[in-house]
């Protein structure tokens, strides 16, 4: 293709991502978004205007060299695209799938002002998938420094920090409490959104290239305390996430069939419960499921429920339903637009302005229903959203046999056993410097959900990266912040 003019580039339509048909995909766990073909990717790459001062990069929490990788992509230089990508992002196949690009790089893309932004996320995924399959530019660690760093938690924050520290030649050991590395990427995000082969592929590739050791089944706080890690390692990064589930404080939460989204998703994703009995862990979903909450985790839970119902039904439609019960309205739904859209497309029923007040059980101790109350929206609250207020006398019963609570999570305090010097907030999060992740405990940094409370994969990656920068400077003796 000869060089296009700016006007010509702006006339190219944003390329649609091929996806599985909603009615087909709601009955399987295969990936929903199928990925760009090379042709679609090249076509989409042609839309980039190669701005002199690219705003997209400003919108990226890890500062990916977006114009550079897109330029290489449209020249057909895949290796160049991978190289440009990896300067800032070591896990593109993951980011390309789960980053909320619509509020980050794509929101600040100059084309977004007049129409549709460049599909940066889809291009990123294309480059990431290419590299996972081809392994053209392995990450390289610098000369061995003899310094050792412990990373606690192998989710997005820990992984990113591990890679960036190891690239400077420091010896990195990751401690993971579960049996498989990846944190929320493996226990939380479902296969149909982020295939586990992609997560394991990215982690294995990076760990092999950089000699990162991963110790699974290691619950820090129990097997080693933070103090013990500090005796062995020159620096410690805490990326333990927000793993503790919240339950509504209403009667009936311990009936059989009521579970946290964490439990439900862990059974499905980490333990592969949807393949029971081939895998040993069962997962049960009723014919009428209510998911409480409307964040990304709620969407994931609802969409997994639909799929399990389809797998359980012998043939076709057996009248099963999945509801999302949310106390605010459609406008306030906190999930990513795309996830919300996918859930609706697949047939999830949304009950807005509805709040459960009691879970009802039968005489065998199983859930049979939920008493709810209708809500209306009042004045703006501290979060800037309109406060939901119960409408008196509007209570009603909803027949359900599964209740999944997706109400947010908070940091797991286990890691803080015997870590008195580490200051934490009243919400249980670690107090850390916003720009560097430096904590109140010498030689300890923290980032991701353990600092911010439940947030996004990419913000955790950004935090891991910032901490890695400062850990590297500290290990080189450039700074001593304490």
> Residue numbers of the site for another protein (CB under 8 A)?
177-179, 187, 216-219, 222-224, 243-245, 247, 253-254, 256-257, 259-260, 262-263, 266-267, 270-272, 276-282, 284, 364-366, 412-414
Task: Return the closest-CA partner of residue 91 out of 472, 467, 468, 462.
Answer: 462
CA distance 10 to 466: 35
Q: How far is the CB of 425 from another protein (least distance, A)?
A: 18
Identity of the residue, 271 or 444, whose beta carbon is nearer to another protein in the bound complex:
271
Q: How far is the CB of 253 from another protein (least distance, A)?
A: 6
Contact 349, 321 (CB under 8 A): yes
Q: How far is the CB of 123 from another protein (least distance, A)?
A: 35
Identity of the residue, 88 or 284, whose beta carbon is nearer to another protein in the bound complex:
284
Identity of the residue, 334 or 413, whose beta carbon is nearer to another protein in the bound complex:
413
Q: How far is the CB of 269 from another protein (least distance, A)?
A: 11
Distance of CA 472 to the CA centre of its chain: 26
Identity of the residue, 278 or 379, whose beta carbon is nearer to another protein in the bound complex:
278
Q: How far is the CB of 245 from another protein (least distance, A)?
A: 5
Identity of the residue, 168 or 409, whose beta carbon is nearer to another protein in the bound complex:
409
Give the pairing type, strands 367-380 and 244-245: unpaired
CA distance 336 to 348: 15
Identity of the residue, 244 or 360, whose beta carbon is nearer to another protein in the bound complex:
244
CA distance 22 to 27: 9
Q: Which two tokens stand for residue 33?
A: 């978004």
Rounded (10°) CA dihedral 256, 402, 327, 245: 50
Q: How far is the CB of 160 from another protein (least distance, A)?
A: 21
Q: How far is the CB of 163 from another protein (least distance, A)?
A: 25
Secondary structure element (H or E) that encloses residue 349, with its range: strand 349-351
Identity of the residue, 35 or 243, whose beta carbon is nearer to another protein in the bound complex:
243
Proportion of the chain in helix, strand, coil states, percent, rounded to 5:
40, 20, 45
Contact 429, 422 (CB under 8 A): no
Identity of the residue, 38 or 280, whose beta carbon is nearer to another protein in the bound complex:
280
Q: Which two tokens stand for residue 307?
A: 């799929």
Enumerate long-range contacts of 301-305, CB under 8 Å, 24 or more apart: 301/261, 301/264, 301/265, 301/404, 301/406, 302/343, 302/348, 302/404, 303/26, 303/190, 303/192, 303/342, 303/343, 303/346, 303/348, 304/190, 304/264, 304/265, 304/268, 304/274, 305/264, 305/402, 305/404
Q: How far is the CB of 333 from another protein (least distance, A)?
A: 24
Strand-by-strand arrangement of the 258-260 sheet: 258-260, 402-405, 288-292, 321-325, 349-351
CA distance 352 to 376: 10
Secondary structure element (H or E) that encloses residue 67, with its range: helix 66-74
Identity of the residue, 124 or 191, whose beta carbon is nearer to another protein in the bound complex:
191
Q: How far is the CB of 125 from another protein (least distance, A)?
A: 28
Contact 78, 36 (CB under 8 A): no
Identity of the residue, 145 or 256, whose beta carbon is nearer to another protein in the bound complex:
256
CA neighbours closer than 13 Å in the CB half-sphere of residue 13: 3
Give the pairing type, strands 171-175 and 213-215: parallel
Q: How far is the CB of 279 from another protein (least distance, A)?
A: 5
Q: How far is the CB of 384 from another protein (least distance, A)?
A: 30
Identity of the residue, 329 or 410, whose beta carbon is nearer to another protein in the bound complex:
410
């Amino acid at each position: 293709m000869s060089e296009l003019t700016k006007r010509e580039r702006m006339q190219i339509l944003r390329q649609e991502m091929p996806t599985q048909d909603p009615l087909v995909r709601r009955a399987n766990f295969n990936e929903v978004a199928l990925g760009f073909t090379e042709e679609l990717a090249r076509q989409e790459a042609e839309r980039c205007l190669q701005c002199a001062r690219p705003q997209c990069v400003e919108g990226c929490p890890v500062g990916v060299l977006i114009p550079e990788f897109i330029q290489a992509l449209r020249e057909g230089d895949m290796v160049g695209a991978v190289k440009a990508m990896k300067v800032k992002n070591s896990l593109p196949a993951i980011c390309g799938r789960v980053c909320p690009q619509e509020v980050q790089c794509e929101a600040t893309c100059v084309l977004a002002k007049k129409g549709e932004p460049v599909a940066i996320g889809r291009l990123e995924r294309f480059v990431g998938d290419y590299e996972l399959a081809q392994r053209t530019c392995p990450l390289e660690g610098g000369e061995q420094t003899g310094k050792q760093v412990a990373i606690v938690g192998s989710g997005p924050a820990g992984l990113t920090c591990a890679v960036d520290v190891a690239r400077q030649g420091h010896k990195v050991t990751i401690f993971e409490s579960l049996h498989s590395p990846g944190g929320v990427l493996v226990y939380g995000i479902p296969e149909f959104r982020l295939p586990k082969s992609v997560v394991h592929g990215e982690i294995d590739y990076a760990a092999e290239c950089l000699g990162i050791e991963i110790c699974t089944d290691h619950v820090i706080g129990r097997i080693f305390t933070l103090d013990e890690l500090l005796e062995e390692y020159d620096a410690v990064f805490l990326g333990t996430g927000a793993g503790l589930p919240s339950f509504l404080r209403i009667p009936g939460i311990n009936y059989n069939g009521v579970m946290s989204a964490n439990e439900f998703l862990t059974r499905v994703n980490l333990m592969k419960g949807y393949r029971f009995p081939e895998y040993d862990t069962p997962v049960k979903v009723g014919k009428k499921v209510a998911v409480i909450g409307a964040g990304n985790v709620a969407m994931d839970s609802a969409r997994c429920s639909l799929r399990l119902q389809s797998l359980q039904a012998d043939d076709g439609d057996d009248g099963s339903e999945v509801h999302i019960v949310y106390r605010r309205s459609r406008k306030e739904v906190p999930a990513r637009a795309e996830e919300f859209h996918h859930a609706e497309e697949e047939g999830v029923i949304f009950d807005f302005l509805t709040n459960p007040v009691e879970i009802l059980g039968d005489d065998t101790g199983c859930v049979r229903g939920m008493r709810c109350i209708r809500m209306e929206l009042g004045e703006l609250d501290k979060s800037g959203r309109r406060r939901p207020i119960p409408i008196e006398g509007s209570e009603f019963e909803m027949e359900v046999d599964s209740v999944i609570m997706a109400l947010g999570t908070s940091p797991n305090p286990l890691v803080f056993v015997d870590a008195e010097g580490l200051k934490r907030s009243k919400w249980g999060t670690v107090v850390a410097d916003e720009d560097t992740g430096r904590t109140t405990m010498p030689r300890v940094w923290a980032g991701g959900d353990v600092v911010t409370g439940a947030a996004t994969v990419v913000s955790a990656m950004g935090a891991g990266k910032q901490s890695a920068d400062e850990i590297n400077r500290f290990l080189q003796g450039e700074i001593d912040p304490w």
